[in-house]
Structure 1
Amino acid sequence: MQILEQQKMPAPDPPAVESKGWRGQFNLLRWFSLGSFLIIAGVALGLGYISTRFVVEESIERDSMLTAQFIQAIGDAEVRHAGITTTRTMGEMLDPRQENAYPDVNPESRAASRIEFLDHVEHLPDILLATVYALDRTVVWSTNPELIGVRIEDDDELDESFEMKEAVSTSYHEIDEERPEQKLLREPQYLFIENYIPMFNADRSKVIAMVEIYKEPVDLVERIQRGFKAIWLATVLGGAVIYLALFWIVRRAAMLLQSQQKQLINNETFAALGEMSSAVAHSLRNPLANIRSSAELAQEIASQSAQKNIGDIINQVDRMSRWVRELLVSLRPMNDDYETVDLVMALDDTLSAFDALIKRSGVEVRFTPQSCPPIVSQQVLLTQILNSLFANALEAMPKGGVLSIDIDSPQPGHVRMTLNDTGKGMTKQQQQMAFKPFFTTKQGGLGVGLALVKRIMERFEGSVELTSQEQEGTRVCLNFKVATGGEYGAQHTAGRG
């Protein structure tokens, strides 16, 4: 169906708001997408880093505490096993240079307890290096013989453990070549831990020896790595869910704002043109009526040769009158009063009104009336829609064709009326501009036909769809909402007038 009129009237320039382009206006969705991604990514990375560091530090601290408790418990057990008095501790037994410092302890018992203790230390699981320091920071025993007798200086962690009287632990990923005590028996693969375990005197008032343990806790490292994976997976998924949820909300808001902006622009366009057009239209109605009346009187007394010219005058006056009437209807504010309208009756009335034009154009109408539930609309406005569509369809088929009308129900609560013609069709560009106000390609057309159809359909919660092919025809679908008694019982029902 040829809905666009045939005059090459240029479309009005788009409003300034739309012509500014991407750079000229604030794009909410674009900036939110970028800003929220950076913020959420930053927060997620920060939380992931803090969580992983917490897991590592807590795991290492826990492992160090257990190691220290185990070493100290072994020392106490070996002292008791050797039959040494409870006033002595393993810390006092570790320095072989102090063999004669404790006359109350049997030298053999002292040596036996020390050997047993160091044997347990040497065979700890996951051990890389074990070292025992005397109070003067001299290595008195080590699993690496090269370190025995070496005095360690400027070791802050060793000094801290002696002074604070508590275990100190540090994790490493690489061997520090500048630290002479890190002469490990084998190269660690990933993470290794250094533990300083203080050994006290009997009343725990003084640290008199220090056990240093380097270990590579394979099981702990695996657990830490699994924790890393779980934390980062949860962080990434959580950040993605939050981002997508916020993006969806803002996208809906941006679409709503864009729709409202377009509606505001259309309303402003109609309002601006309405004042001027109403004045022009009202000024034309009376002169047109006078011209038509005068032409009809002249036609009664005119000669045969003048009859055709006078008929052309009347036809053009009628065309101008329809133009004025369409202009006033399109610019008139619509009320929101709903009516239950019989679509089939409205179609019958419109076909009757266009019967003469249909026969004169040689158009075949294919329409089989069938039962149809009442729809939500207004009788006057529905008639305006049908008149506009039928007029344009017939103008698209000046040499005859087929006009098909079908009614069906694509989904519950809705009725669809489809109008097909075999006219000249439309280009893709014309289809894109079809619903723009005041766009027309018809000579003498106003360009409010389809714009008015769309406006009326949307006012009554319906929609209009248009598809067309050049030289094949046009298809227009009107989707109406079915009127129900409970929802529209307060409104009045419109039948055939």
Structure 2
Amino acid sequence: MDIVPRSDTLETLASPDAGSPRKPFDLLRWYAWVSLAFILSVAVGLGLISSRFIIDESVERDALLTAQFITSIADAEVRHVAIPNVRTMGELLDPRTDHAALPGVSPQARRKARGEFLDHIAHLPDMLLANIYAPDRTVIWSSNPALMGKLIEGDDDLDRAFEYKMRVSASYHNFDQARAEQKFVTPPEHLFIENYIPLFDADGERVTAMVEIYKEPHDLIVRIEHGLIRIWLAIILGAGLVYLGLYGIMRRAARLMAVQQKRLISNETYVALGEVSSAVAHSLRNPLASIRSSAELAQVFDEGPAQRNIDEIISQVDRMSHWIRQLLQSLRPLNDEAVAVDLLQALQDSLQSFAVPLARGGVTLDLQPMPAVQVLGQPALLGQIFNSLIDNALESMEQGGRLRVEVVKQDRRSVTLRLSDTGRGMNERQQRMAFRPFFTTKQGGLGVGLVLVKRIMERFGGSVRLSSSEGRGTRVSLHFRLAEAC
């Protein structure tokens, strides 16, 4: 039956977009940039809010203290002068009412009482400018004589203080030349504070005068700056620690996910290879058995020139059968439970089976003293590990050499055994590919020996490491878990 491919399938395969590889999603890099932007946004927002709070609270506190100080001075001066019919300092501050408001009181007494209060105002610490307004917004006194007698209009803060009969304070970094009341004799250098402090009549209902104080409290500014520096340093440090902590957690999670993904892909690959290999092996075993039987039969009845070819057929069939057994063994699931295995005994059994090949190959065995320990594993699987490694070492030392076996590290939980040979070694690329399935440097090898070694070691909680140099040999370190520690 002919199979005709569908046209839409051919078009899909021919499309350039269909074959172009998509760039894998980098979770760690995506998280690093997004989390950095988010944490920086939150940190800057918190810093700005905290800075504004510190400045506002400091200014409000300074304004409250200034208002309390001026009110206390006003009350003290009124009690001190003891002028009849005068109950508050606000009733004395407007010089335009000296004759009309309180007949019988000498203007000199009023001016003296007013002068003492204004002298205290003029000598307030850190003061830039002081103005006193009558209810009609006229400047009845100022530390800048050029402002006295001027009518101030369009000042929202001043109007709000008169209207709501409340203290008003604000902070500025730059003064406004357009505002008539901000005519400083000494311009401010940095932050300055504006305070409106109402003075009431004796009943506390009517504002008789409004005191405006401009201050540049240097000590307060220094404290605010130090506080802001500490706040921003704490925010930067906190944001950095949060970012590094979260990045570390995500990096570890990304690595774990990558390892799990590799294991999943590896398991899926092994399952697929196992199914294919099993099918191929079962399909080849019977033909190979028939070929070998026929060759053996021919070997018995034919003693002529074909005898050499018959021996080669039997040898190649045995070689293919050995490959099939290796392949099936390397791909079968490792579900055996871990038991305590005598490490020295398993090693000696493998070395004993290779005694003749080692001697024939001119390889000297250097077995260092080893402790009698039991490791987690299976006797047959540990023997398979040692057989594969010894066979690889023997294969790499074609001209003879030395095979050294020693324990390089031991503690309460584990022991590390190292096998070193003096063979031809491997280059960097070969080392990177050593534990990949079907990669081999041996003539006619299948490339599953080291793969099986790695699977067996990891199955029982151990690990294997390989290091090699071209022309200087190979070292394989086997890290076993001790059975006594479990």
Question: Do both share a fold (TM > 0.5)?
Answer: yes
Equivalent AA in structure 2 for residue 43 of structure 1: V
Contact in 2 for aligned 1:80/1:86 (Cα 8 Å): no
User: Is the partner of 2:224 in helix, strand or coil?
Assistant: helix
User: Is the partner of 1:102 in helix, strand or coil?
Assistant: coil
Deviation at residue 20 of structure 1 after TM alignment:
8.8
Deviation at residue 254 of structure 1 after TM alignment:
0.8
Equivalent AA in structure 1 for residue 422 of structure 2: T
Matches of 1:199 and 1:388 in 2, distance apart?
101
In terms of mean alpha carbon deviation, does 114-123 or 222-231 score higher? 222-231
Instruction: Tell me what 2:394 maps to.
Output: 394
Greater relative contact order (Cα 8 A, min sep 6): structure 1 or 2?
A: 1
Equivalent AA in structure 2 for residue 143 of structure 1: S
Equivalent AA in structure 1 for residue 232 of structure 2: W
Contact in 1 for aligned 2:131/2:142 (Cα 8 Å): yes
Deviation at residue 449 of structure 1 after TM alignment:
1.4
In terms of mean alpha carbon deviation, does 261-270 or 340-349 score higher? 340-349
Contact in 2 for aligned 1:344/1:369 (Cα 8 Å): no
User: Is the partner of 1:24 in helix, strand or coil?
Assistant: coil
In terms of mean alpha carbon deviation, does 408-417 or 248-257 score higher? 408-417
Matches of 1:196 and 1:30 in 2, distance apart?
55
Instruction: Tell me what 1:412 maps to.
Output: 412
Contact in 2 for aligned 1:375/1:480 (Cα 8 Å): yes
User: Is the partner of 1:26 in helix, strand or coil?
Assistant: coil
Matches of 1:35 and 1:219 in 2, distance apart?
41
Superposition CA RMSD, Å:
2.0
Matches of 2:153 and 2:303 in 1, distance apart?
132
Equivalent AA in structure 1 for residue 261 of structure 2: Q
Deviation at residue 109 of structure 1 after TM alignment:
2.6
Matches of 2:306 and 2:423 in 1, distance apart?
34
User: Is the partner of 2:358 in helix, strand or coil?
Assistant: helix
Matches of 2:465 and 2:173 in 1, distance apart?
67
Matches of 1:312 and 1:86 in 2, distance apart?
138
Instruction: Tell me what 2:483 maps to.
Output: 483
**Structure 1: stretches of 5+ with no match in the other structure:** 1-18, 488-497
Structure 1 residues 431 and 124: CA distance shift in structure 2, 3 A? same
Matches of 2:475 and 2:20 in 1, distance apart?
34
Instruction: Tell me what 2:56 maps to.
Output: 57
Residues 1:178 and 2:178 aligned together = yes
Instruction: Tell me what 1:123 maps to.
Output: 123
In terms of mean alpha carbon deviation, does 353-362 or 325-334 score higher? 353-362
Instruction: Tell me what 2:284 maps to.
Output: 284
In terms of mean alpha carbon deviation, does 84-93 or 343-352 score higher? 84-93
User: When the two structures are superposed, what TM-score results if normalisation uses the length of structure 2?
Assistant: 0.91
Structure 1 residues 85 and 25: CA distance shift in structure 2, 3 A? farther
Contact in 2 for aligned 1:89/1:201 (Cα 8 Å): yes
In terms of mean alpha carbon deviation, does 328-337 or 111-120 score higher? 328-337
1:258-290 CA-partner distances (Å, limit 9, x unpaired): 000000000111111111111111232343344
Instruction: Tell me what 1:349 maps to.
Output: 349
Residues 1:91 and 2:90 aligned together = yes
**Structure 2: stretches of 5+ with no match in the other structure:** 1-18
In terms of mean alpha carbon deviation, does 154-163 or 315-324 score higher? 315-324
Structure 1 residues 178 and 308: CA distance shift in structure 2, 3 A? same
User: When the two structures are superposed, what TM-score results if normalisation uses the length of structure 1?
Assistant: 0.89
- Aligned-pair identity (%): 57
Equivalent AA in structure 1 for residue 70 of structure 2: I
Matches of 2:418 and 2:243 in 1, distance apart?
42
Deviation at residue 65 of structure 1 after TM alignment:
1.1
Residues 349-388 of structure 1 aligned to structure 2 (within 5 Å): 349-388=349-388
Contact in 2 for aligned 1:341/1:376 (Cα 8 Å): yes
Deviation at residue 369 of structure 1 after TM alignment:
4.9
Matches of 2:365 and 2:296 in 1, distance apart?
33
Equivalent AA in structure 1 for residue 372 of structure 2: C
Instruction: Tell me what 2:236 maps to.
Output: 236
Contact in 1 for aligned 2:78/2:86 (Cα 8 Å): no
Deviation at residue 306 of structure 1 after TM alignment:
5.5
Contact in 1 for aligned 2:85/2:102 (Cα 8 Å): no
1:55-75 CA-partner distances (Å, limit 9, x unpaired): 110111111111111111111
Matches of 1:180 and 1:466 in 2, distance apart?
86
Structure 1 residues 413 and 34: CA distance shift in structure 2, 3 A? same
Equivalent AA in structure 2 for residue 386 of structure 1: F
